[in-house]
Amino acid sequence: MTARLVKQVDIEAIERIVMVTSPRLLGYVFNPVTFYYCFDRSGGLLATVAEVNNTYGEKHVYTLPATNGNGHGFPAQFQAEKAFHVSPYNTMGGHYDFTFGDIRRELDICLDLHRDGEHILKAHLQGNARSLTPWSHLKTMVKNPFMPLLTIPRIYWEALKLRFKRKLTFHDKPVPSSPMTIRRLPATRIQKYFQGLIQKRLAKADQGSLRVTLPDGQTVVYGKSEDAPQVHLRVNDYRFFSRVALGADIGLGEAFMYDEWDTDDIPGCWAFLSRTGPRWTMETLKAPCCSGFWNTCVSWPGPTH
């Protein structure tokens, strides 16, 4: 994440960081959003970072550099395009307006979501600063013993009200496409299995060069790395592997439609995949689950007949 922030914020100039978050209770916490205030040596606000988590287990970072004036004034205001799926009752369209008060004096954060000229959502977080002492810490825990454990149940309760009381439309979770989504859904066991099958096939390539970037950021090169030009295939979601393994060339096309992979060179990518070997089936890959519908023939992308 630091490498991505360097492009927007002068990391070397940061002298102090103030974090606004929720504490763990018995080792557990779910933070919908954590804020970081980044100050320079003179006390000016260099940037604010919003680290957003959704209930699917994904994490996204909005970096908000202080480009308004000299960046030292409060309230600090920022705008960012919505680039992360949080609620199934909101689309990916629109932009956020962030307003921050001076955290060194008070907690005052306002978030507004606008889309097509409409004000969709408003959230306001306020609080007064108190000295953190053993007594004040104990008093807070006694007064709110289960507060960190109630976040998820409250989120689901509000979601049920939006669905059944307000009858809002449910939107499926899209595949994350922003490089600032720093944590994505991990591969399931079956997805890992199909990933292994496909990577074994790719490893046999002896012509061309294909660079594959996985959802976790790992990059693997197949073929002859010295061959030019090198084709880059970005896997955005691990469902790509199971969809391609079970659907062959049709599955590859469907995976592209669902944004599970992308590339800057579709013809080059297709040509590389077509050269990786003859058509193959689950049986030739010695799959342990070759009975029933698993015995469906699976072939590597090739010409459509």
Pick from 248, 206, 255, 207: nearest CA to 233: 255
The pair of structure tokens assigned to 121 is 């959502």
Structural domain harbouring 216: 187-295
Whether 104 and 39 map to the same domain: the answer is yes
Can you give the CATH number for the domain in which 277 is found? 3.30.1050
Taking the C-alpha atoms of residue 86 and residue 60, their distance in angstroms, rounded to an integer, is 10
Q: Is residue 179 part of a domain?
A: no
Q: Tell the burial category of 240 from Cβ atoms under 10 Å away from its Cβ (0-12, 13-18, 19+).
A: buried
pTM exceeds 0.85 for this model: no
Partners of residue 76 on adjacent β-strands: 100
Whether 53 and 192 map to the same domain: the answer is no
pLDDT at 73: 72
Pick from 249, 216, 250, 214: nearest CA to 234: 214
pLDDT at 45: 92
114, 133, 164 - which closes a domain? 164
Whether 110 and 30 map to the same domain: the answer is yes
Residue pLDDT tens, the chain, 305 long: 565 666 677 888 899 999 999 888 878 889 999 999 999 999 999 999 999 999 999 999 999 987 644 455 788 999 999 999 999 999 999 999 999 999 999 999 999 999 999 999 999 999 888 888 999 888 888 888 888 888 899 999 999 999 899 998 999 999 998 889 999 999 999 999 999 999 998 888 888 899 999 998 899 999 887 766 789 999 999 999 999 888 888 888 899 999 999 999 999 888 888 777 544 444 444 444 444 434 433 444 544 44
164, 179, 205 - which closes a domain? 164
Q: Is residue 300 part of a domain?
A: no
Q: Is residue 141 part of a domain?
A: yes
Task: State CA 262 to chain mean position distance.
Answer: 16
Whether 284 and 196 map to the same domain: the answer is yes
Total Cβ atoms within 10 A of residue 255: 23
Total Cβ atoms within 10 A of residue 84: 21
Whether 59 and 133 map to the same domain: the answer is yes
Q: Is residue 301 part of a domain?
A: no
